[in-house]
Amino acid sequence: MAEATRRNFLWLGLGGLVAVAAGGALWMRASAGDAAFETRFMTVDQMKAEGALVVDVRRPDEWQATGVIEGARLVTFADAQDFLSRIGADLAPGQELILVCQSGRRSAAAAAALAGLIPNRIISADGGMQAIIASGYRTVAPQL
């Protein structure tokens, strides 16, 4: 009986942690308002159809290794203010900003850092260049 009670208590505690984490995520998204970002997979055709500014936030050695999306801006993300100073002139009011990295982790971190600083919708490309290349897209050589 004690083992069953202990197990139920552990499940209850785990459920509470999940609820707190979910509530925190909802609070963070709500506090950012319209400036919140989203993470989703998009093909390059979908990115272009959106008319978004696509920015590859990887390093130059990564651009060289895999190639890049044709027409994407190549701006390594170091910090939000420097990044915005480098892309600001190319980002029109209301235009979506799509961030791409190798796997999607850095672009999500960059999107989180930018959320709330610009009114534009920000999308982190889920799966990054790995997923884009796996979907059949043929990259082009970067023009550095």
User: Which residue segment(s) compose the domain that 60 sits in?
Assistant: 36-134
Question: Are residues 54 and 27 part of one domain?
Answer: no
Does residue 139 form part of some domain?
no
Per-residue pLDDT of the chain (144 residues; tens, 9 = 90+): 556 555 554 444 444 443 333 344 333 343 344 458 999 999 999 999 989 999 999 999 999 999 999 999 999 999 999 999 999 999 999 999 999 999 999 999 999 999 999 999 999 999 999 999 999 999 999 998
Q: What CA–CA distance (Å, rounded) separates 38 from 52?
A: 14
Q: Put the strands of the sheet holding 97-100 in their side by side order.
A: 37-40, 122-125, 97-100, 53-56, 73-74
Question: Are residues 6 and 68 part of one domain?
Answer: no
Per DSSP, the chain holds a count of helices (H) and strands (E) of 6, 5
The CATH number of whichever domain residue 129 belongs to comes to 3.40.250.10
Does residue 128 form part of some domain?
yes
Question: Are residues 65 and 22 part of one domain?
Answer: no
Question: Are residues 67 and 40 part of one domain?
Answer: yes
Q: How many domains does the chain have?
A: 2
